[in-house]
C-alpha cells in the first residue's frame, strides 16, 4: 500500500514557520522512535533524517491533514544554511573519474558506478549519501543487520529480498573502503579451480 504523503510543518517555539517538508505515517513513526526528524524526499521516495547529524524536535503531533513539529527558535532551514551554490554543487551529477577501471558488468556494475557517484557528490535525498555521511562504522553495522535478516529469512522470495539488501550494503562498504567489486572477482577467480571438460 502506498502511504499518503502529507506536509510536515516545522514551527519555531516563537510561532514562526521554519520549514515545510513532506512525510508519511512511516516517517512520523520513525521520527518519534529516533527522536529526530525524518522526512520524505518525493523525488527518490526515500525517508531520511533531516540534516545529517540529526534535527531534534520539541514536540511532534499528527494534525488532521499534516504533521506539526515544534523546533527551537534557533532552527534554520537547510536551504538557508547551505546557500544555493553549495546546494547546486551537491546536486551535480557527474560520473566518478575512475568509473571505467575494472568495472563489474550488469546491475552490479551499474550499482557500483552509482554508489561511487553518490560518494563523490553526496546528493541530498539519497539513502547511499546517508550511509556515507554516517561513516564506516554505521555501514558495517548495517551490513551486520542485513546479514542477520538474511539468516532469518526462510521463504525463497524473502531470501532473494534480503540477499539483495545485503549485496547493496556490501557494495557501499566496498566503496567506502576503496575496494572495487572486480577485486572480489579477481580473488574468486584466483581460488577457482576450473573443472576438466
Ligand atoms: N539497492 C538499494 C537498496 N537496498 C536497500 N536500500 C535501503 O536500505 C534501507 C534499509 O532499510 P532499514 O529499514 O534497514 O534502514 P533504515 O531504518 O531506513 O535506515 P538506518 O537509519 O538504519 O540507516 C532502506 O531505506 C532501503 O531503501 C537500498 N537503497 C538503495 N539501493 C540502490 O541504490 C541506488 C541509489 O539509491 P539512493 O542513494 O537512495 O538514491 C538505488 O537506485 C538502488 O538501486
C-beta 46 within 6 A of ligand 1: yes
In eight-state DSSP terms, residue 98 is: T
Instruction: Report ipTM (2 d.p.).
Output: 0.90
**What does the pLDDT look like over 7-50, one tens digit per residue?**
999 999 888 888 899 999 999 999 999 999 999 988 888 999 88
Same domain, 37 and 67: yes
Q: CATH no. for residue 78? A: 3.10.20.810
- CA-to-CA dists, residue 194 to 86, 105, 157, 181, 187, angstroms: 52, 21, 31, 21, 14
C-beta 114 within 6 A of ligand 1: yes
Q: Is residue 22 part of a domain?
A: yes
Q: Which of 22, 50, 82 is the endpoint of a domain?
A: 82
Domain that holds residue 139: 93-191
CA 136 to chain centre: 14
Q: Is residue 23 part of a domain?
A: yes
Same domain, 69 and 129: no
CB neighbours of 30 closer than 8 A, spacing ≥ 6? Answer: 38, 47
Q: Which of 17, 47, 82 is the endpoint of a domain?
A: 82
Using CA atoms, how far apart are residues 193 and 197, in angstroms rounded to an integer? 12
* Residues pairing with 61 in the sheet: 68
C-beta 146 within 6 A of ligand 1: no
Same domain, 115 and 66: no
Count of structural domains within the chain: 2
Cell of 103: 568495472
Q: Which of 58, 82, 106 is the endpoint of a domain?
A: 82
**What does the pLDDT look like over 51-86, one tens digit per residue?**
765 578 999 999 988 999 999 888 887 656 554 444
Amino acid at each position: 500500500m502506498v502511504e499518503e504523503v502529507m506536509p510536515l510543518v516545522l514551527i519555531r517555539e516563537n510561532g514562526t514557520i521554519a520549514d515545510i517538508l513532506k512525510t508519511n505515517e512511516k516517517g512520523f513513526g520513525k521520527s518519534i522512535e529516533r527522536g529526530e526528524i525524518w522526512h520524505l524526499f518525493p523525488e527518490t521516495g526515500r525517508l531520511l533524517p533531516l540534516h545529517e547529524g540529526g534535527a531534534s524536535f520539541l514536540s511532534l503531533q499528527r494534525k488532521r491533514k499534516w504533521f506539526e513539529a515544534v523546533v527551537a527558535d534557533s532552527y534554520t532551514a537547510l536551504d538557508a544554511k547551505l546557500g544555493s551554490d553549495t546546494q547546486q554543487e551537491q546536486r551535480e551529477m557527474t560520473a566518478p573519474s575512475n568509473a571505467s577501471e575494472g568495472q563489474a558488468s550488469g546491475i552490479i556494475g551499474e550499482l557500483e558506478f552509482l554508489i561511487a557517484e553518490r560518494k563523490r557528490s553526496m546528493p541530498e535525498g539519497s539513502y547511499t549519501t546517508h550511509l556515507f555521511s554516517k561513516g564506516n562504522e554505521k555501514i558495517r553495522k548495517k551490513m551486520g543487520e542485513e546479514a542477520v535478516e538474511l539468516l532469518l529469512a526462510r521463504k525463497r522470495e524473502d531470501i532473494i529480498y534480503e540477499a539483495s539488501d545485503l549485496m547493496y550494503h556490501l557494495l557501499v562498504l566496498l566503496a567506502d573502503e576503496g575496494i572495487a567489486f572486480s577485486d572480489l572477482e579477481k580473488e574468486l577467480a584466483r581460488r577457482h579451480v576450473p573443472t576438466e571438460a
